[in-house]
Amino acid sequence: MKKILVMGAAGQIGSELVPHLRSIYGEQNVVASDLKERSELGDTLNKGLYEKLDILDTEGTVAVIKKYNIDSVYNLVALLSSVGEQKPQLSWKINLGGLVNLLEISREMKLALFTPSSIGAFGPSTPKVNTPQDTIQRPTSIYGVTKVAGELLCDYYFKKYGVDTRGVRFPGIISNVTLPGGGTTDYAVDIYYEAIRKGHYTCYIKKGTFMDMMYMPDCLKAAVDIMEADPSKLKHRNCFNVAAMSFEPEMLAAEIRKHIPSFTMDYNVDPVRQGIADSWPDSMDDSAAREEWGWKPEFDLKNMTEDMIKVLKEKLK
């Protein structure tokens, strides 16, 4: 049985990945960690094993890994794209410094390491539609710079030292438990909350801007399946494109209107986040993930919207 440490567990993905991993591998085999105190955690994380941990603290991380006999780490620590532009130096320090730390620990302690990359690893010179698995990567955000460097470092540690590094390039993740913080794709989460609370949303991303998105259940499936994949079948190992749906704000608003007919949307475009969105792909080609480890998403815009509205109506009552 795996013994897993999830770092950055209190974030949007971690707060749902931890209970998901516990349901698969057992409560006692999944340790959550984050910068937060236990008392600051949400209900789901609060229930199980937890360690307050800074990814830049090598000694502390090694101590937790030894304490629980950890053999696999999910590294979800990152400053997202929009907040990264406000704090580029900190973004490099956390996103890359944290990864380098974990790669070294993984090399010495023979751990498997999952690190997500992102659509943010692409840039304006990347082919925009059906973006290939292997293509031009010249991102213009600091987030993207850290993600490309991270992809290359993970490949390097596998090739040079045999560290079992794996990862996917996540699209914008849409979920209803924990809000994302400081990303460019966050509008696609905010819109559901505002549609239910106020019946109106002011969108910071311009009409017609397509980006890849994914519903949380598929995100969790991707994170588990890549770590469970047969290594002999993996030609890429790290940074697989994984796609589920691609839409622009008007398409999302129209889908919400099928459930809330009076929903209205206007725009107040944020130039920073719009600039980032314009530099990212419209849609990724995920055939390598499908071929090498059987990736197949379950949610599209229609069934995701049905579920989001059902869950949020209950939650925001």
User: For binding to ligand SER (CB under 6 A), which residues are involved?
Assistant: 80-81, 118-120, 143, 170, 172, 183-185
CA distances from 147 to 77, 82, 133, 168 (A): 12, 14, 15, 11
19: left (phi over 0), alpha (psi -120 to 50) or beta: alpha
- Whose Cβ is closer to ligand SER: residue 80's or residue 102's? 80
CB of 80 to ligand SER, least distance (A): 4
Which of 143, 157, 204, 215 is flagged as catalytic? 143
- Whose Cβ is closer to ligand SER: residue 169's or residue 237's? 169
What is the amino acid identity at position 79? L
- Whose Cβ is closer to ligand SER: residue 53's or residue 214's? 214
Q: Which strand ranges, in their side-by-side order, compose the sheet holding 117-118? A: 117-118, 168-170, 240-241
Q: Which strand ranges, in their side-by-side order, compose the sheet holding 4-7? A: 50-52, 30-34, 4-7, 72-75, 112-114, 164-166
Give the separation between CA 7 and CA 73, rounded to whole angstroms.
7
- Please count the other Cβ atoms lying within 10 Å of the Cβ belonging to residue 312: 17
CB of 150 to ligand SER, least distance (A): 12
- Token pair recorded at residue 38: 């236990």
What is the amino acid identity at position 95? N
- Whose Cβ is closer to ligand SER: residue 166's or residue 169's? 169
Q: What angle do CA 25, 29, 31 make, to 5 degrees?
A: 120
- Whose Cβ is closer to ligand SER: residue 29's or residue 133's? 133
Residue 81: name the closest of 16, 145, 31 by CA: 145
CB of 153 to ligand SER, least distance (A): 18
What is the amino acid identity at position 176? N
Consecutive H or E run containing 4: strand 4-7
Nearest residue to the partner ligand SER, using Cβ? 183
- Token pair recorded at residue 211: 């980006």
- Whose Cβ is closer to ligand SER: residue 143's or residue 204's? 143
Q: Where are the beta strands (DSSP E) in 46-120?
A: 50-52, 72-75, 112-114, 117-118
CB of 48 to ligand SER, least distance (A): 26
- Token pair recorded at residue 231: 């290594």
CB of 175 to ligand SER, least distance (A): 11
CB of 280 to ligand SER, least distance (A): 8
CB of 230 to ligand SER, least distance (A): 27
Q: What angle do CA 26, 32, 37 make, to 5 degrees?
A: 140
- Token pair recorded at residue 80: 């997202």
- Whose Cβ is closer to ligand SER: residue 170's or residue 299's? 170
Q: Is 143 a catalytic residue?
A: yes
Catalogue the active-site residues.
143
